[in-house]
Amino acid sequence: MEPLEFSDGTVFTERRRLYTASAAPGTRTYGERLMAIGGTEYREWDPRRSKLAAYLANSGKVLPIRKDSNVLYLGASSGTTPSHVSDIASGGKVYCVEFAPRMFRELVVNCKPRPNMMPILADATKPSEYEFMVSGVDVVYQDVAQKNQADILADNMEKFGARYGMVAVKARSEDVSENPKTIFKKAESRLKERGFRILDTLSLEPYEDSHEMIVVERT
Ligand SMILES: C[S@@+](CC[C@H](N)C(=O)[O-])C[C@H]1O[C@@H](n2cnc3c(N)ncnc32)[C@H](O)[C@@H]1O
């Protein structure tokens, strides 16, 4: 098991597969493979199930989430990727925002064995509604599959004073008829207009159709 370059020793690779060291040994979130090596339990991280893993599998080089980061995760669903973020930021907190009640119920179950994962039933377009539950955010990670993805990220980064942001832009959620490349350029321009520097952009194909990861830093 080798630490992945640029991951500050939080993500590992073996035979080109990705792993995180489990912060909740003995538990699975989505049926992932567990491997025990030298007293550490590693969880396989599937790029077909997680856009953050797809970004890293495609040689994404900017991972601003560190061991002690506090992460605001928008669009947590049942907790698949958030659980790996909770392994990475094992010394920080992961605030998981999800607005669909059915997914939220599963998220609550998956947060139970992970003391650093906080489920929040709320709409990511209304950060003032969960402001009272969230503090000290270093990174906003967003995967919400809806319109105005750049502005939702920017609004949350501004509200919580986060330095870094990552957004997995889904082109079809913005406009089904427009060329995905045009949509990604518009999202990048909007983030620049809102005062962010683009640190990286990367297509998530072949793992996710018409998706691009954008990583930004507040200037
Ligand atoms: C593609 S799924 C997220 C998958 C998850 N990020 C993962 O990798 O495990 C998108 C989720 O965003 C949620 N969502 C969409 N718009 C939202 C909003 N405005 N506020 C909160 N959640 C939202 C959906 O209910 C859905 O569960």
Pocket test for ligand 1, best of 72, 110, 144 (most atoms within 8 A of CB): 144
Q: Are strands 117-121 and 94-98 parallel, antiparallel or unpaired?
A: parallel
* Residue (of 188, 190, 191, 217) closest to 202 by Cα position: 188
Per-residue pLDDT of 63-77, as tens digits, reads: 999 999 999 999 999
The dihedral built from the CA positions of residue 112, 117, 123 and 126, taken in this order, carries a sign that is: positive
What residue type is assigned to position 140 of the chain? V
The answer to whether the CB of 121 is under 6 A from ligand 1 is no
- Looking at the CA of residue 125, tell me the nearest atom of ligand 1: 19
Per-residue pLDDT of 12-27, as tens digits, reads: 999 999 999 999 999 9
The answer to whether the CB of 80 is under 6 A from ligand 1 is yes
Question: Which of the four CATH numbers 2.40.50.140, 3.30.70.1350, 3.40.50.150, 3.40.50.11030 does domain 47-218 have?
Answer: 3.40.50.150
Per-residue pLDDT of 33-64, as tens digits, reads: 999 999 999 999 999 999 999 999 999 999 99
The answer to whether the CB of 97 is under 6 A from ligand 1 is yes
Find the 123 Cα to ligand 1 centroid distance in Å. Answer: 10
